[in-house]
Amino acid sequence: MSTAPAAPAAPTASQAAPLDPEATRQLHITIAYKARTIELSVGPTPIVADLLPDIARRLGVLDPAIVYGGYRLLNSEGETLSPSQTLDEQHVEEGSTLTLEPGALNETDIMYDDVVEAVGASVQRVYKPWTNDHTTLTSLIISAGMLAISAGLLAVFPPSIVNAALGFGFALVLIALCSVLSGKNMIPQALAMGLISSVFAAIGGYQLISTLFPGHPFHGLPLLGAAAGLIVDGGLMAAAASRTRPYSLIPIVIGVIAVIPSGLAFMFPINEPQIWIFTATAVALAANALPSMCLSLARISVNSPHSESDIFKLPEDIDYEDIKQRYIFGSTMLFIGRIAVASLLLIATPLLVSLSTPLGAAICLLAFMGMLLDSRQIYTLREMIVTVGAAGIGIIATGLLASQAHPELNIPLILIMLASALATIILTNVTRQQSLFATRMADAAEMLCLVLLPPLAYLAITM
């Protein structure tokens, strides 16, 4: 007797069609209101208007006195998110922080009976006012710019005792001004004048040595004189302005580091290019270890438990002020180290690029590219300005000098610059979402820059 074929078994839960990853993706964001914050995990489908009631409830702002005005979410740039769109549609990134703002606290419903008053209120809301702090900052920038131009003109003058005296004289005047500003608690202004004075002191030392001992190349004895000027000026700055004393280490560190290669180049003039190739490579590699070295100087450690008794015993009190001072010290040392690294690389760039082999230009380009890629791990604004600014100036200077010293490299340089510029614009402006692939590619590129430096330096030294 024949039997009917068995019906196919129904698919089990494990055999069900896989869900679309985009449909199950969760966006983790932080919502802030005054001092309160909540963590939120949102799918790709809910619009902002559907999320606002739950957000307001969890933040405890469902006050009958203000609930009539509704609520809105602001991004980090102060822009209001559209309530009819999802977070994904408005390019809210993973880990973003949004701000909840009750509509009742917005003074948009104020009625004016005077046009002048209404215009004044609108201007006050739309534009930030010009204050005395802005005037002080602008005057400082203009003054520093004029002093920098004066220093540049003095540096290119033919060596003479008069020019050396002018350099030292301006340095002493600026040190005195730094002391006065420090006494008035104007720390940024005092620091700017103190650092510019070190530039004039270095130019004075260079002019003096070039006058007394003519005929030496710049990266030898003249640079040794400039380094001595930096060291002396840093000592005077530390003595004259106590409030900027930690930053007086900037000219001192640059001078001390520059003394070594310039002194060796003076003693062994035939090996001057090799000495500076080694110096630039060593400095570029050491820059990658600066955070670890400065953290060890700060001596901030975590006491991990090693036994059950350590786990269950009461934790020791933490001295917040002591930790804060240690962090400030380590951060300041890191800032000084980044300035010293950038200065040494910029000093070595003209000599390396002018070599007969293009390997010197390649070393400079890789060093500055590594510095630029390393800036992704920097959090503080001042370190970012120093690192990115020095890397950008170094890349531009390397390209311009290499185009003059090696005209045959113009086409490859143009292609490299164009590709780098396009990649930077796309990754920082066009692509708004963070990409793990882009992060891994940047890490690999940074590591490649560092790995290629030693073999290129070896080839440049032996050729």
Query: Using one digit for the tens of pLDDT, what is the confidence trace for 160-195?
Result: 999 999 999 999 999 999 999 988 888 888 999 999
So what's the pLDDT on residue 435?
Answer: 65
In the prediction, which pLDDT does 4 show?
Answer: 43
Is pLDDT above 80 for 372? yes
Q: Which amino acid is at 328?
A: I
Nearest CA to 199 out of 240, 243, 168, 236 is that of 168
Quick one: 28 exposed, middle or buried, by C-beta within 10 A (0-12, 13-18, 19+)? exposed
Q: For 102-128, what is the mean pLDDT?
A: 67
- pLDDT-based confidence at residue 113 (cuts at 50, 70, 90): low
pLDDT at 91 over 70: yes
In eight-state DSSP terms, residue 78 is: S
The pLDDT tens digits for 124-143 are 666 777 888 888 889 989 99
Sign of CA dihedral 269, 274, 280, 286: negative
d(CA 219, CA 227): 11
Q: Residue 3 above 50 pLDDT?
A: no
Pairing mode, strands 97-102 and 71-74? antiparallel
- Asked if the model's pLDDT at residue 257 lies above 60, the reply is yes
Mean per-residue pLDDT of the chain: 83
Calculate what percentage of the chain has a pLDDT beyond 90: 30
Tell me: pLDDT of 385 over 80. yes
Q: Would you say residue 263 has pLDDT above 70?
A: yes
Q: What is the 3-state secondary structure (H, E, C) of 98-128?
A: EEEEEHHHCCCCCCCCCHHHHHHHHHHHHCC
Instruction: Record the pTM.
Output: 0.70
Q: For residue 330, what pLDDT is reported?
A: 82
372, 395 contact by CB (below 8 A)? yes
Q: How far apart are the first and last CA of the chain?
A: 93
What's the CATH code, domain 25-108? Answer: 3.10.20.90
